[in-house]
A and B are shown apart, each in its own frame.
With several copies, the nearest count.
Chain A
Amino acid sequence: MGSESNIKLLDESGMRLDGRTPEQLRPIKIETNLLERADGSAYIEWGGNKIMVAVYGPREAYPKHTQDIEKAVVKARYNMAAFSVDERKRPGPDRRSVEISKVISEALSSAIMVEQFPRAQIDVFIEVMQADAGTRIAGLTAASVAVASAGIPMRDMVVGCTAGKVEGKVVLDLSKEEDNFGQADLPIAVLSKSKKIVLIQMDGDLSLEEFDQASEMIMKATDNIAEIQRNALTSRYSVENIGDGE
């Protein structure tokens, strides 16, 4: 947060660099079941983010000592492709991706009926093919769809969005420049019906009032995003072409 920059992120009328209003989302598109092998899968485009999620399971947890006798263990693995970011990233997990994998696993566990599958594990592989700010929330939002598409029982869908502070103003769904040069980043994910919060992180500088404003913006936005999730799960026809990106 807060690297300095000469870029002007908001114009006089409060419009953003990419032409959005403060409360406007970037375009979002979700498709399901593009992958053949996985038990369920989802593909999301959210702004410039391109993320594929595959789900395997429930299957017996391995190694055995990781089994929980009361419920399934959800193991999300958030991974960035080497070419997904501006400078080539060495393959394999880094500290950031380990942390993100942890909070996503916990968030999904809130929504999946894990108690129905003792000793099992549910693997959720989140592959960021192109990163453009907000990948953890986009990945988690797609992961929820992928889990549903695998037929795994859930008490609710998980849906999220970020808000942040840019030049002193609270805005929704940070772009890459806003993420790099803004003053705060607040990703929140909720259960879509109950609005219970299953993921929240923040870094930057927010007053209480700013937090209230930002969190309300996110809550409103999740309704729209949940609608996109539902559509993706009900209409699966033109998947191939869209998913392949033209």
Chain B
Amino acid sequence: MPRDALGVLSEIKRSFITKQLKEGKRGDGRGLLDFREATITTNYVPRAAGSAMVKLGRTRVLAGVKIESGEPFPDTPNSGVLTTNVELLPMAFPTFEAGPPNETSIEIARVVDRGIRESKMIDTQKLVIEPGKKVWIVFVDINIMDFDGNLIDACTLAAVSALRSAFIPASKEGGKDMPLPVDQIPVSVTMVKIGDELVCDPDLEEEQLGSARVTVTTTEDGHIRAMQKGDTGNFTLEEIKKAIKISSDTGATLRKKYFS
């Protein structure tokens, strides 16, 4: 994440925020483990097979799904293909630049992708048109439009919402259009460590203050499907276990709130 994007936070602001957090308070009034309110607008782009505009606080991302027929990978001839791409649009932040994916956007895309893939949200074996020859390829493209922290969770929310709203254009291949079959709902929860506190769904200032970041993606059964630690700080094993617990609990809340 662009730690230096805003320049260095002023020392005064930094110590103020840290002190507040010790008392369990955050700048916008949230508790340490609270998520910001999310607004999810599915079918924002009717021309896409599925889509969702997600606002998570002041972070805004738009996910679109396209489903096209194509060849399977040689080593998985009986399986459709899922591919996830994230674009950090230069409109989203003063220092973002146009260009091919960089390490930040690649990391986000891969963490989101692993959460969806490992939770078996999409049964890719149902995406076969002609075994070994033709399968459905599901493109998930996520555009970052406004950046105020926690892109991984915003992108996971958007990708999952867009996939849940997606239709397979099977009529193009002589079948009947049908909803994309989805099963498990992965929810990712990202925390940063500020001082000794774990803080959920950090905004940009909190991300800049955090020494380390961890994302845990879980499914309804409470199982972990993906994890990713970021940044140059560290965690104790106990903190990681705590983060897993938080993610599992918060994931359940979010799943109920947005996906039921």
Contacts and interface: CB of A to CB of B under 8 A. Distances in A.
Interface stretch (A20-28, A134-142, A211-219): A211-219
A236 interface: no
Contacts of B229: 103, 106, 197-201
Which range holds the interface residue count of chain B?
Answer: 35 or more
Which range holds the interface residue count of chain A?
Answer: 35 or more
B164 interface: no
Nearest to B74: A87
A36 interface: yes
A31 interface: no
B45 A83 contact: yes
Interface stretch (A7-15, A93-101, A167-175): A93-101
Most A CB contacts (10 A, CB to CB) among B53, B76, B139, B141 go to: B141
B29 interface: no
Contacts of B68: 87-88
Given A211-B244, A244-B55, A123 B90 contact: yes
B236 interface: yes
B47 A82 contact: no
Given A81-B143, A127-B89, A219 B237 contact: yes
Contact of B103 (A84, A86, A101, A201): A101
Contact of A37 (B94, B225, B241): B94
Contacts of B92: 37, 54
B106 A99 contact: yes
Contacts of A195: 236-237
A186 B3 CA distance: 26
A204 B225 contact: yes
B contact face: mostly helix, strand, loop, or mixed: mixed
A197 to B, nearest CB: 5
Given A81-B141, A83-B45, A102-B103, A202 B227 contact: yes
Nearest to A74: B232
B53 to A, nearest CB: 6
Contacts of A38: 91, 146
Contacts of A199: 229
A106 B85 contact: no
Nearest to B107: A99
Nearest to B92: A37
A91 interface: yes
Interface string B104-126: 00110110001001100000000
Interface of A: 1-3, 35-38, 41, 48, 50, 52-54, 56, 59, 68, 77, 79, 81-88, 91-93, 95-96, 98-99, 101-103, 106, 109-110, 114, 123, 125, 127, 129-132, 186, 191, 195-208, 211-212, 215, 219, 244-246
Interface of B: 4, 39, 41, 44-49, 51, 53, 55, 58, 60, 62, 64-66, 68, 76, 85, 87, 89-94, 98, 100-101, 103, 106-107, 109-110, 114, 117-118, 139, 141, 143, 145-148, 214, 221-237, 240-241, 244-245, 248
Given A37-B146, A198-B229, A199-B229, 15 more contacts: A35-B60, A35-B145, A37-B92, A79-B89, A83-B141, A91-B141, A95-B109, A106-B232, A110-B232, A130-B47, A186-B227, A200-B228, A219-B237, A244-B53, A246-B41
29 contacts: A3-B76, A36-B58, A38-B91, A38-B146, A48-B47, A52-B145, A79-B98, A81-B45, A82-B87, A84-B47, A87-B68, A88-B68, A88-B141, A95-B109, A95-B110, A99-B110, A110-B233, A127-B89, A129-B44, A132-B47, A186-B227, A191-B234, A200-B235, A201-B228, A204-B118, A205-B224, A205-B225, A211-B224, A245-B44
Top 5 closest pairs, chain A to chain B, by CB: A83-B64, A54-B91, A202-B227, A125-B91, A82-B141
